[in-house]
Structure 1
């Protein structure tokens, strides 16, 4: 189990992420429905362990990422009882020092390099195809989880937003917006912070399929089983080829640049507001803005 030397008050890996084999398909399910699957570090490392398990299992060809309950995910955990930003975890995604005990930008850069940008990049490179199965809210940090998947199947009740410009921050850490939405749609999403629905997301090219909510699980598994009929190594090479093409179009270097701006924004907020790096926003204010949890 990948996890914490000192997990503190947070739930165990087995509780926050479920793993199930369905023939050649591994279904990995975020399991904090009472908090709309808000992502704490326990969940991050439990997801990583589940993905590693699927990669290591020769019987698994395709991975499905889902969220238990009404919502896929409301984003990063900004204030639940299981929030664990000060807990030590062994770095898995980047070779950097631990964030615990560090101060200011050093602390935040170390943590977010690992649990946000680093983990998402690690998961994007999983050699087996991944399908995100999305219902309800997919907000801010949840976009990062959906975007690292190779395909996205969404229920017709799904809605999306990246409202973190309300914090004075130029988008979530895994800044894939211009590549998955296109530049003009990316600017609209960021500039307004407004929700957009599944049909709009499909029109912008972010989704592969939109299906009735009652059929989401079945239709996602059907697609996964179709893909599972292809040669595993051929799928891995095809995935790598497309990812490399995206990187040739500037995706990786663009993310690096945006990540620097992201942390500049945090530092600016802290300097002008007495140490508050979130610009006065919290889980409640982001929710009351009509968009959900934030960065």
Structure 2
């Protein structure tokens, strides 16, 4: 097993890297912002992931600091197109997906440890990890407001099937528990919240008994089978679908309405039970 001290990596601002035995953790460390994926955090995440391909333990883990794993993209920085430019918007969205494809292509097994909440773009990240361990009471799902389309749920489809992916996409703010995520096939195991990290570290300990080059080829062989079924092609298509919808009049009107009523009110309206009239 190759190991390095934490000093071998840069000192990051919005993430931190912890080497604990056979696993090197990338910790999303912006708890005051619900670990929302800002531009700086995403850049740091990509940098750490690339460096850990050649340093650290034989297994990479990803977890969140604080009350939850991650609330998704920071809507002020990453989650909103800055101008009406479909090409730039598509490039922006593709850049996000490519960060997560780097997990898929990483030479080491990557395990996500999910507790609390895991929303929107954070679920994209977990789709591409090799294993996902969740807290039984975790809340996992779509953005609270339908401002995009074809960006989150299509990446779920290879794991959960088309009908469940559509259920996720068609109900605004749809959320499932960690237990349901396992039943659907999105996650591997659901355990009590205080056992998530220990479970991942125990699995990493067992994985580390296998030589790293063997682990790498085992991962590659399964990925190749999935890619033969079109997983990478599907991932490449999601930025176009989302960029297309960002230009639609209905989404423009929805953004204007949110600006008028405020984010909290808008979310509450979409989460009302069926049959309740908007106020």
Q: Common fold, TM-score beyond 0.5?
A: yes
Distance across 2 between alignment mates of 1:18 and 1:285: 34
Mapped partners of 2:17, 2:230: distance in 1: 34
Matched, 1:111 2:102: no
1:221 matched residue in structure 2: 201
Where do 1:23-102 residues align within 5 Å? 23-57=21-55, 59-79=56-76, 83=77
Trace 1:185-200 onto structure 2 (pairs within 5 A). Answer: 185-193=164-172, 194-200=174-180
Distance verdict in 2 for CA 1:206–1:262, change over 3 Å: same
- Given that 1:13 and 1:46 are in contact with CA atoms closer than 8 Å, whether structure 2 keeps it comes out as no
The answer to whether the 8 Å contact 1:63/1:130 transfers is yes
Is the Cα contact below 8 Å between 1:133 and 1:154 reproduced in 2? yes
Question: Could you tell me which residue of structure 2 aligns to residue 248 of structure 1?
Answer: 228
Please give the root-mean-square deviation of Cα atoms over the aligned residues, in Å.
2.8
Deviation at 1:280, TM superposition (A): 4.6
- The 1:269–1:169 alpha-carbon spacing in structure 2 relative to 1, beyond 3 Å, is farther
- Stretches of 4+ aligned residues off by more than 4 angstroms: 269-272, 278-283
Say if 1:164 and 1:170, in contact at 8 Å, map to a contact too.
no
Change (3 A) 1:18 1:272: closer
SS in 2 for 1:154: strand
Partner of 2:218: 238
- Does residue 1:169 correspond to 2:167, yes or no? no
Task: Write the deviation string for residues 230-265 of structure 1: whole angstroms up to 9, x where unpaired.
Answer: 110111111111111111111122223333221110
User: 1:273, CA displacement in angstroms?
Assistant: 3.7
Which residue is 1:153 aligned to? 133
Task: Output one character per residue of 1:160-180: Cα deviation in whole Å (capped at 9) or x when no partner.
Answer: 1113772252333x8412101
Q: Is the 8 A contact 1:168 1:269 kept in 2?
A: no
Check if 1:17 corresponds to 2:15. yes
Aligned partners of 1:50 and 1:271: how far apart in 2? 35
User: 2 CA distance for matches of 1:287 and 1:205?
Assistant: 28
Give yes or no for contact 1:36–1:74 (8 Å, CA) kept in 2: yes
Confirm or deny: 8 A CA contact 1:170 1:261 kept in the other structure.
yes
Query: Given the two structures, how large is their TM-score scaled by the length of structure 2?
Result: 0.83
Q: Which ranges in structure 1 are unaligned for 5 or more consecutive residues?
A: 1-11, 87-98
